[in-house]
């Protein structure tokens, strides 16, 4: 029997599909430092992770029973992918399953930013009964997203899902991608109507200069942040930055400085440089809308991820 360890969990739909096809599945979370011994003791054929567990060379080298490593999500920077493949391990992920969920979180942050929900939600429980009029005045300079320009860096599946929602809100969309020159964005409406827009990508610096808001949807490559102090300097005064992609893409020190100096008006972050211990200075900043890396954490996305992982595992072992 093929044995699977879903160390960071898997949806009920994924569990049911795997068990119905005769696979043994454990969802017990094993601490990172005990993972090698547990995999070897139980002779797991497959280990599935999300973003918490890391599968590095030590596990690949010391766990001969492993035949497959799976990531429930898009980015695989917590897996030594090339090394695993070189050593005969199959590596899978679920690039399409969470696109809609991440795109919707982008707009949760956007709405939070332009209507100051991140601040109001902190202060209302403390001051709402004694300082209501002043709070109302403090948060009365909101902005509408309609007719604003959204710059999307990384125009793959998630970036294109973000574009759909932006277009639906009446926003102007700019996009940058090293590998995509243009994309057809199709909106499917509730009554069966369909409208397609063609968006051509532009250079990143030009996107930064023109956008009211910039959102990131690319993997982390190398040690240097993509959005450095220099890149922030190119952005519009009073603009906003959203990162739901990977921690380290944004220079957090430069971001806080830009917010303090009002170069940027606000930011939305779902990912951080030092997860799971983000900078306390960042967490306490009063101009940042924050969530704890929950981009793919919807019931619908987790069901899609579980089923997609199950389908790939079944296909691999029953071919």
Supply the DSSP string of 197-240, one letter for each residue. Answer: EEEE---HHHHHHH-SEEEE-----SSS-SB-HHHHHHSPTTEE
Burial of residue 309 (number of CB atoms within 10 Å: 0-12, 13-18, 19+): buried
Q: Please state the rounded mean pLDDT for residues 14-24.
A: 96
**CATH number, domain containing residue 54:** 3.40.50.720
Domain shared by 105 and 184, yes or no: yes
Which residues are known catalytic residues? 246, 275, 293
Asked if the model's pLDDT at residue 319 lies above 80, the reply is no
Alpha-carbon distance of 186 to 197, in angstroms, equals: 6
Q: Are residues 171 and 266 in the same domain?
A: yes
Q: How confident is the model at residue 27 (pLDDT cuts 50, 70, 90)?
A: very high
Report the SS3 class of residue 266: strand
d(CA 264, CA 288): 11
Q: What is the pLDDT of residues 168-222, one digit of tens each?
A: 999 999 999 999 999 999 999 999 999 999 999 999 999 999 999 999 999 888 8
Q: What is the pLDDT of residue 62?
A: 97
Give the single-character DSSP code of 25: E
Give the residue carrying structure tokens 């639906």. Answer: 168
> What is the Cα–Cα distance from 65 to 56, expressed in whole angstroms?
15
Q: Is the pLDDT of residue 77 over 90?
A: no
At residue 129's C-alpha, the angle toward residues 126 and 130, to 5°, is: 85
Strand partners, 241: 214, 267
3-state secondary structure of 66: coil
**What would the two tokens of residue 308 be?**
């997609």
65/166 same-domain check: no
Q: Are both 184 and 85 inside the same structural domain?
A: no
Q: Do 120 and 226 reside in the same domain of the chain? A: yes
Give the global pTM.
0.89
Q: Say what the pLDDT of residue 318 is.
A: 85
149, 18: one domain: no
64 and 115 inside one domain: no
The answer to whether residues 235 and 263 touch, using CB atoms and an 8 Å cutoff, is yes
Burial class (CB in 10 A: 0-12, 13-18, 19+), 281: exposed
**The predicted structure's pLDDT at residue 24:** 97
CA-based angle 152:93:159, to the nearest 5? 10
On whether both 137 and 265 belong to a single domain, the answer is: yes
For the segment 227-255, the average pLDDT, to the nearest whole number, is 97
- pLDDT tens by residue, 99-148: 999 999 999 999 999 999 999 999 999 999 999 999 999 999 999 999 99
Are 166 and 23 within one domain? Answer: no
* Separation of alpha carbons 245 and 225, rounded Å: 12
Domain holding 252, by residue range, is 99-290
Q: Secondary structure of 120-139 in the HEC alphabet?
A: HHHHHHHHCCCCHHHHHHHC
- H-run or E-run covering 182: strand 182-188
Rounded to the nearest integer, the mean pLDDT of the chain is 96
- The residue-averaged pLDDT of 278-283 equals 96
- Cα–Cα distance between 5 and 46 in angstroms, integer? 6
Q: Is the peptide bond before 276 cis (omega within 30 degrees of 0)?
A: yes
The label of the residue with tokens 């090698």 reads 36
The rounded distance, in Å, linking the Cα atoms of 313 and 17 is 10
Same domain as 170, residue 268: yes
Token readout for 102 is: 């991440």
Same domain assignment for residues 38 and 119? no
Question: How many domains does the chain fold into?
Answer: 2
Phi, psi (5° rounding) for residue 161? -65, -40
Same domain (yes/no): 90, 103: no
Residue 74, pLDDT score:
83
Identify the sign of the CA torsion 147, 149, 155, 156.
Answer: negative
Rounded Cα gap, residues 200 and 124, in angstroms: 43
């Amino acid at each position: 029997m093929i044995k699977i360890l879903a160390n960071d969990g898997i949806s009920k739909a994924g569990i049911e599909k795997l068990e119905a096809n005769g696979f043994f599945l454990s969802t017990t979370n094993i601490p990172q430092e005990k993972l090698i011994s547990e995999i070897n003791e139980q002779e797991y054929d497959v280990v599935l992770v999300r973003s918490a567990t890391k599968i590095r060379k030590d596990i690949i080298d010391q766990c001969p029973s492993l035949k497959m490593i799976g990531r429930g999500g898009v980015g695989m920077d917590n897996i030594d992918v090339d090394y695993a493949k070189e050593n005969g391990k199959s590596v899978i992920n679920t690039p399409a399953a969470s696109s809609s969920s991440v795109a919707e979180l982008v707009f949760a942050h956007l709405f939070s930013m332009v209507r100051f929900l991140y601040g109001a939600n902190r202060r209302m429980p403390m001051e709402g009964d004694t300082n209501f009029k002043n709070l109302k005045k403090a948060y009365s300079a909101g902005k509408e997203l309609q007719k604003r320009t959204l710059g999307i860096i990384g125009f793959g599946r998630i970036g294109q899902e973000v574009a759909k929602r932006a277009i639906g809100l009446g926003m102007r969309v700019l996009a940058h991608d090293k590998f995509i020159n243009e994309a057809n964005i199709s909106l499917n409406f509730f009554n069966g109507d369909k409208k397609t827009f063609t968006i051509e990508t532009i250079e990143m610096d030009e996107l930064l200069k023109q956008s009211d808001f910039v959102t990131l949807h690319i993997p982390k490559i190398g040690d240097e942040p993509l959005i450095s102090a220099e890149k922030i300097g190119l952005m519009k005064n009073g603009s906003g930055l959203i990162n739901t992609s990977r921690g380290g893409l944004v220079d957090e020190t430069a971001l806080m400085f830009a917010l303090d100096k009002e170069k940027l008006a606000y930011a939305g972050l779902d990912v951080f440089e030092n997860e799971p211990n983000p900078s306390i200075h960042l967490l306490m900043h009063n101009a940042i809308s924050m969530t704890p890396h929950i981009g793919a954490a919807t019931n619908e996305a987790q069901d899609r991820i579980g089923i997609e992982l199950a389908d790939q595992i079944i296909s691999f072992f029953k071919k």
